[in-house]
Amino acid sequence: MSPSPQPGPVPSPGAHSPRPNGASRTISEASLQRVENLPGYTTPVFKGKEEQRAKVQAEVAAKGFIARELVANEVNWFYSHLGIDDTYFQNESVSVISDHIIALFGAKVLAYTKHDPNKLVIDLEKIDEKGNGATFIHTSRPGLTSKEGPAYRIDALYLDNSTPEKCYRLETYRSTGSISATASQQLRCYFITKCNFPSPPPPSTRTDGKTDIRAVSDRSFLEKATEHTLQVYQEIMWRVESRYGPVMEVFEVEGSRERRLVIGYKMGGTSRFFSALSNLYHYYQLYSARKYVEQFSNGVTIISLYLNPMPNSSAPPIEHSIMQVMKEASLLYCLPDNPFFLDVSDANHAVQEATYAYCGWVFAQHFCNRLGPAYLQLKNTLDESNPAHAEVLNNIKRRFREETFTRESIAQVIHAHSELVRLLYVNFAMIHYPTATDASLMPTLSYQRLQTTQPLSDAELYDKIRRSVPSKQDLQVLESFLIFNKHVLKTNFYQPTKVALSFRLAPDFLPEIEYPKKPFGMFFVIGNEFRGFHIRFRDVARGGIRIVMSRNKENYSINQRMLFDENYGLASTQSLKNKDIPEGGAKGTILPSLGANPRRCFEKYVDAILDLLIPGQSPGIKERLVDLYDKPELLFFGPDGMDINTGADPPVLHLIHCAEGTADMMDWAAMHARDRGADTWWKSFTTGKSAQRLGGVPHDTYGMTSLSIRQYVLGIYKQLGLREKDVTKVQTGGPDGDLGSNEILLSSDKTVAVIDGSGVIADPHGLNREELVRLAKLRVPVSNFDKSKLSKDGYLVKVEDQDIKLPSGEIVLDGTDFRNGAHFRFKADLFVPCGGRPEAVNISNVSGLVDAEGKPHYKYIVEGANLFFTQQARISLEKRKVVLFKDSSANKGGVTSSSLEVLAGLALSTEEYIDLMIFKDGKPSDFYKSYVKDIQFKITENAAAEFQCIWREHARLQGSKSRTRISDELSSTLNDLQAELEASDLFIDLPSRKGVMQKAIPKTLVDQVGLDTLLDRLPESYQRALFSSWVASHFIYKYGVNGSNVDFFHFARDLAH
C-alpha cells in the first residue's frame, strides 16, 4: 500500500487544498462549492398511485373506524396534502397505508379531546420480521430533537453494527404539508432497506486502479442517485479509503440558503452518530429536509444531510454556522454519546464545551480519588516490607478508589455547575485554540464565542470556583478540571479531523505519596468506546501496549478505577527491566468498553497519539497544534497481549499473548505512521512486527526471551556445580507458547511436570524428553502428550476432566481447579514459570510452596513469566533460602531484542530497511540472519553479566540482602547512573562517544552502514541514551553497585579504545 495523506476530510470551503492535478484552489474558489438547486436523488413516480388510492379508500371504509362521509377527505389529505414522497406509497402495501391513515385520524381525535393541537402525536412503525428493513413515521417539529423519535433506535438496530455483509441504507425526509388544518406538525418518514449488492459485483470501468463506486453500490441507490451525487460520493469514497478518520464536505445550493453536509467514514468507525448529528444541527437552529445514509460493499459509509435555517431563527446565519457544524461533527464522531451534550435544553453546552466536560469527567474519575494525608500517616506508621502491613495498605487504597468519587457523582457536579464548567472550558480554549493563520478567513463561531466570555486568570478562576461551590467534594471535582487545564501541553482537541481525543500531559500533578517516581511524560486518550494512557519514565523509552478487556460491568468498573495505577506500575516495572538498553521504561494501556472491538480501540489510540507526534501540515485536515512542550517526541510501542479480568476479588488478570494478532497490530501501527508522514521513524515506531512483511525480529522464533532466562539457569548450575541432566524441574507455560516451547528445546534437565492452559502432564521419573520436544516443535499444548510415553506413576489431567483417579489413588474432582493449583503440589530442584496468571503466587498463598516441615518445594526459581510472583512472595521464599531470580532480571532478553529492532529501524534508510530487513520470497537476507545472531549474542552477554553481578553482591553481603532486592537496587542504580550520564558532558567527547558506539551498536549494522553515517542518522536524544546505557551497564556489571568514583575514572579513561 502506498503512503496516503493524513486522516481527514475533503478540503472544506475556506481551506487551501490540493487538487488531483496538482493545482490548488484559492479560498474564494473553495467557498463557492456550489451545486444546482436540484435534488441529489431522483424520486421515482409511482404509476399505480391512483389505483392504490382507490383500494386504500375502500379498505379504510371497510374497517369502519372512520365515518364513511369522512373517509374520502382523510385519504385525500394523506395522499395529496401531506407531501409524502412516492417512495412510501411504492414500498408499502394497501393494508399498511390504510392502518396509517386510521392511526393518524385517531391521533387527531385524541388531540382534539385535549384541546391542544400540539398534543397531536403520530408514532407509526413497521419492522420487517426477516430483517429486510423498516419504516418509521412520526410527528416532527423542525429544529427539535425528539427523545421519543426513532433516530436512536435506528442507530442501534440498523447503523451501528454495519458490515459489508449486512448493512442498511436509509432515506428520511420531512413531509411538505402539515398533519391537519389545525396542527402545524409535519411527519418525518424513515425508510430503511437492507443493502442488495450484486454478486458477483459488476466489472469496474476504471483503468487507474481506484474503486469504481458503481461496482460497490446497492442496486436501489444506483437507481435513485443522480450523476452529480455519484461524482461527489466517488470523491468522498476515495478519500475515506486513503485515510483513517472521517471525511467531510459542505455544498452551497444555488439560489437558496440550503447547505448540504456530506460525511464519509469507514464502517464501524463510530456509533450513535446519525442521531448525534441531529442534536448538533438542531443546536444551531437548523433543520433537515432530507437525510440519506448510504453503505457500500467496500466498507464505506456516507451520510448526506440537507440543512436549512429555521424561520425566525435567533442563531447565527447558516452561512456561518455550517462550518461550525462541520467542525463539531468531527468531535461528535469521536464522542457521539456525550451525556453533557445530548440534553441541550438543560445543559446548553455547545459541542466543544460538552466534549471538554466529558474529557474533564474522565480525568476526574482517575485523579480525584486521591488518598490524602490520612493514608500518608498510616503508610508512615506501617512497615511495607511486612507482607501483612502491605496487604492492609493495598486494601485501604482500593477502598479509597472505590468509594470517594464515582462516575455518577462527578457527572452530577458537572451538571450542577454548568456555568463554571463553561468558564473552565474558556480557560482551556484560550491556551489551546489555534490562532487563525490567514487574515482573510472569518473567525469561527467557536472563536467568536470565546470572545464573548471574559476569560479569567487561573487565580481568578480558582477564587470564583472556591466562592461559588460550598461543597468540598464538588470543589475537588472542579479543581481537577483546573489541574487538567494547567497540565495539558498539547492536544488534538481542535484538529479539524480525528478519531479520538488525545492530550500530552505534564505529570507534575501526580502526588509523590502515591507515585514516588515521577514519569517523564504522559499521554491521555479518550475515544467513544475506550480510554487509555501512555506513561514513560525517560525521553527515549519503549514498552508494550496492553489491552485490558472486561468480562462484565462490575469488572469494567474495577478496571476503570485501577487503569492508571496499573499503567504506572507496568511502566515502572518496565524501567527495571530496561536497565541496560537505551530505552527507558514505558507502557500503554487501553480499556475498551464492554462489547467494544479491541482492534478498533487500538487503531484509534495509535492514530490519536500520532496526532501529537507528527506536526500537522494539511489545512482543513491536520493542522499545526498549540505545542507548549515544543520539542520533538518519539514513542516506541511494542506488543503486550490482552488482560482479561476474571472477576476474582481482588481482581486476577489473565494475560493472553496473541502472537499473530499482535504482530498484525504492530504492522498496522508502523504502516499507519508511515502513511501519516513519519518518514524517518515509522520503521522503529513499533516492535514485534512480522518478520516477513515488515522485518520484525519475533522473540519466539529466535528464542530471545528464553535466551536470557537460560543464562540464569546455567549460571545457577555453574555456581553450584550441578549437572543439568540430574536436575528435576517443574515449569508452567507449555510447549504451545513462546517461553514454554523454547525452555523445553534449550534444556536437557529431568522435567517432572509441565502445566499449561490445557492441563497438567506429570511424571515423577521425568517426562519423556523426545515427546516434549515433539510437542514444542509442533507448538501444541500438553493435552497432546502421548500417554504411552508416561511411566506407571505418570499422568495427564486435562482441564475438562472430572472425577478421574491418579496413579496414587487420589481423585481429581475438577480438572480446571487441579490445573490452577498444580504449581503448589509438586516438588523439584528447579521451578521455571514460563506462563500463568500475574500474581499467581502472592503473600496469601505463598505458604503453599512450603511443606509441613518448613521446607520449600523448590530450591531454585528463575521467574520467566512476568509478575508470576508478587514482591512479598519472592522475599518470603528467599528468607527460606530459595535461590530466586526475579522476572525483571531473568526475562529481559525480549526487551533487548526489541531495543535492537528499534535501532535497526532508526539506523537504516527506508530503502535499506526494505532491502535488508524485509524477507524476499519468504527468506531473510544474509544481513538479517547476521543481525539476529548479533542480537542473540547481546542478550546472552547482558544476562550473564547481570547474573554474575547479582551473585557476587549477594555473596559479598553474605546473604543479608535478598537477590530480589539486589536486582531492584541494581536496576535503580543503573537507571540513575544512566540519567546522570545523559545530562553530563562525557557524551560530548567525540573519541569516547565513537569508542562506545562502536561497541554498543551490533557489528553487522556498523559494517553495513558505517559508524559515521550511523552517528549522522540517529537522533541525538537516542545517541545519548545509547551511550549512557552502555557505559552505565558495563561499569556497574564490572564494579558492582558500590563502584567508586575512582573506579569510574579508570573505566571512563578507556572508553575511546
> Which residues carry out catalysis?
587
- Label residues 236-252 b or e (16+ Cβ within 10 Å = b): bbbbbbbbbbbbbbbbb
Dist CA 483 CA 462 (whole Å): 10
Query: Kind of pairing, strands 584-592 and 521-526?
Result: unpaired
Q: How many CB atoms lie within 10 A of CB 788?
A: 7
H or E element that contains 608: helix 598-613
Dist CA 982 CA 1001 (whole Å): 17
The DSSP symbol for 165 reads: T
* Contact between 494 and 433 (Cβ < 8 Å): yes
Dist CA 351 CA 327 (whole Å): 10
* Contact between 872 and 843 (Cβ < 8 Å): yes
Dist CA 982 CA 1039 (whole Å): 20
The DSSP symbol for 987 reads: G
Q: Residues 962, 963, 964, 965: is their CA dihedral positive or negative?
A: positive
Query: Kind of pairing, strands 247-253 and 34-35?
Result: parallel
Q: Is 433 exposed, middle or buried (0-12, 13-18, 19+ CB in 10 A)?
A: middle
* Contact between 842 and 872 (Cβ < 8 Å): yes
Considering only CA atoms, which of 150, 186, 173 is closest in space to residue 289? Answer: 173
Amino acid at 808: S
Dist CA 886 CA 866 (whole Å): 9
Q: Judge if the upstream peptide bond of residue 309 is cis by omega within 30 degrees of 0.
A: no
Name the grid cell of 431: 491556551
Q: Judge if the upstream peptide bond of residue 650 is cis by omega within 30 degrees of 0.
A: yes
DSSP codes, 536-599: ESSSSEEEEEEEEE-SSHHHHHHHHHHHHHHHHHHHHHHHHHTTTSSSEEEEEEEEEPTT--HH
Considering only CA atoms, which of 706, 638, 658, 736 is closest in space to residue 865? Answer: 706
Q: How many CB atoms lie within 10 A of CB 918?
A: 19
Q: Is 19 exposed, middle or buried (0-12, 13-18, 19+ CB in 10 A)?
A: exposed
- Label residues 861-893 b or e (16+ Cβ within 10 Å = b): bbbbbbbbbbbbbbbbbbeeebbbbbbbbbbbb
* Pure H helices in 225-292: 227-242, 273-283
* Contact between 184 and 175 (Cβ < 8 Å): no
Amino acid at 410: I
**C-alpha distances in Å from residue 293, one per residue of 245, 248, 851:** 18, 14, 68
Region for 611 from its dihedrals, namely left if φ exceeds 0, alpha if ψ lies in -120 to 50, beta otherwise: alpha
Dist CA 756 CA 765 (whole Å): 20
148: Cβ contacts below 8 Å, ≥ 6 apart:
123, 138
